[in-house]
Amino acid sequence: MGVISDGTTVIDNGAVEGVLSWQSSIKTSAFTAVAGEGYWINTTSAAITVTLPSSASAGDTIEIVDYARTWGTNAVTLNRNGLNFQGGTANAVYETDGQSVRIVYSGATQGWIPTSDDDVTDEQAVIADVLVVGGGAGGGGNSDRGGGGGAGGFRTGTLNLARSSVYTVTVGSGGAGATAFNVRGSNGSDSSISGSGITTITSAGGGGGGSESSAVRQGGDGGSGGGAGNGGGGATVNLGGSGNTPSTSPSQGNDGGDSQISGTEGTGGGGGAGEVGGNGDGSVCGDGGDGSASSITGSSVTYAGGGGGADGSRTNGTGGSGGGGDGAGGTQNNGTANTGGGGGANHSGTPGTGGSGVVILSVPTSAYSGTTTGSPTVTTSGSNTIMKFTGSGSYTA
């Protein structure tokens, strides 16, 4: 075929494929098309049938375009209205999101023939809100005087996700409680989201709770720091672990509480995302620091609370809001799963395990691709679709 000076196209039999007149009215229900016109078709509410002209001349042209990228859900059917379509007598059905179709009438034998039939990639970035919480740490103690486990790091952000790109989600596990008096509770594992065109967001696992032996009394460093353990005697302050380690801005967590201030022996609580762990004193152990709230799922939920300290001769500390386990004697009080809460210390039994972390993505429902791995829980709130990853997986934007 060749192009003539006014921008129209000459097809093989000499007929002219004319310039289209695009209609400004968006089509949302069945209609009859007119040769020489182009139509934006919105099937958000229902499938639509387009009736083609009952008579046509060679070179007559019609074009239709998926206005809202919804043809994959509600298709468009072309009613051939007595004329052939690609030499046959079946109506054409188009059901690909982003599709555009240009048809030209070739004559009675072959009838209408598509000259362009493409699906157009949506190149606009998807704006996503994200919450990333690291795994909480295990509590200290096991035989006496343990510090609470620190909460996992708590970070939020807004990401521009590129269409068709894969974003990898890692959900950190909770750390185990101390297995003996001379072992600190284990740190939690990091949670993260990474992929094309974004800066990876990583929330560190919480720092383990300190125990009785002098080598492990200080709480571990992490997203939030572990509370300090104690071995009794003296006036030396045993320090809680440092939170916001590694450093992020805004801060991802807080320090764990100290023990044995001015000669007393109460142990420290684990730090939380919203508050430092409580210090121990002569009569009580420190409470776990409270966590921070997020409404990314559509309702306010608190995550990343620290675990409470424990000492056999003092009142045990309580876990911080957001999944922190209570300090205890005998009972194992774990951090709550998928909150990043720190495990509670234990003075005469097994300290609590930290709660696993979580990664939550919220995207506009109109841009949600539906392509995930790792089986996240998918819900909607208002105009957004929310993916809650309680295990590692991925999302393709």
- Inform me whether the pLDDT recorded for 265 exceeds 80: no
Q: Are residues 128 and 63 in the same domain?
A: no
For 161-185, the DSSP string reads EPTT-EEEEE-PPPPPPPSSTTSPP
Beta-sheet pairing, 301-303 with 292-294? antiparallel
Q: Are residues 224 and 155 in the same domain?
A: yes
Q: Are residues 219 and 360 in the same domain?
A: yes
Q: Are residues 46 and 150 in the same domain?
A: no
pLDDT in tens, 292-324: 999 999 999 999 999 999 998 899 999 999 999
Q: What is the pLDDT of residue 214?
A: 87
- Residue 68 is part of which domain span? 2-119
CATH number for 93: 2.60.120.640
- Inform me whether the pLDDT recorded for 243 exceeds 80: yes
Q: What is the mean pLDDT of the chain?
A: 91
Selected residue with higher pLDDT from 247 and 145 = 247
Q: Are residues 215 and 114 in the same domain?
A: no
Q: Are residues 195 and 246 in the same domain?
A: yes
> Rounded to two decimals, what is the model's pTM?
0.75
Mean pLDDT of 103-129: 86
Q: Are residues 113 and 126 in the same domain?
A: no
Q: Are residues 101 and 129 in the same domain?
A: no
- Inform me whether the pLDDT recorded for 235 exceeds 90: no
CA 118 to CA 100: how far, in whole Å?
6
Domain finish residue from 63, 85, 119: 119
Q: Are residues 43 and 78 in the same domain?
A: yes
Q: Residues 6 or more apart from 131 whose CB is under 8 A from it?
A: 154, 155, 156, 294, 296, 303, 358, 359, 360
Q: What is the pLDDT of residue 12?
A: 40
| Contact criterion met (CB below 8 Å) for 323 and 140 | no
The total number of structural domains in the chain stands at 2
CB atoms within 10 A of CB 23: 14
Q: Are residues 114 and 127 in the same domain?
A: no
CB atoms within 10 A of CB 318: 24
Mean pLDDT of 101-130: 87
Domain finish residue from 119, 138, 154: 119
The token pair at 31 is: 């209609």
Give the C-alpha distances (Å, rounded to integers) separating 261 from 85, 196, 230, 279, 371. 88, 49, 11, 8, 54
Q: Are residues 107 and 246 in the same domain?
A: no
- Inform me whether the pLDDT recorded for 289 exceeds 90: yes
Q: What is the pLDDT of residue 122?
A: 63
Q: Are residues 176 and 89 in the same domain?
A: no
Domain finish residue from 84, 99, 119: 119
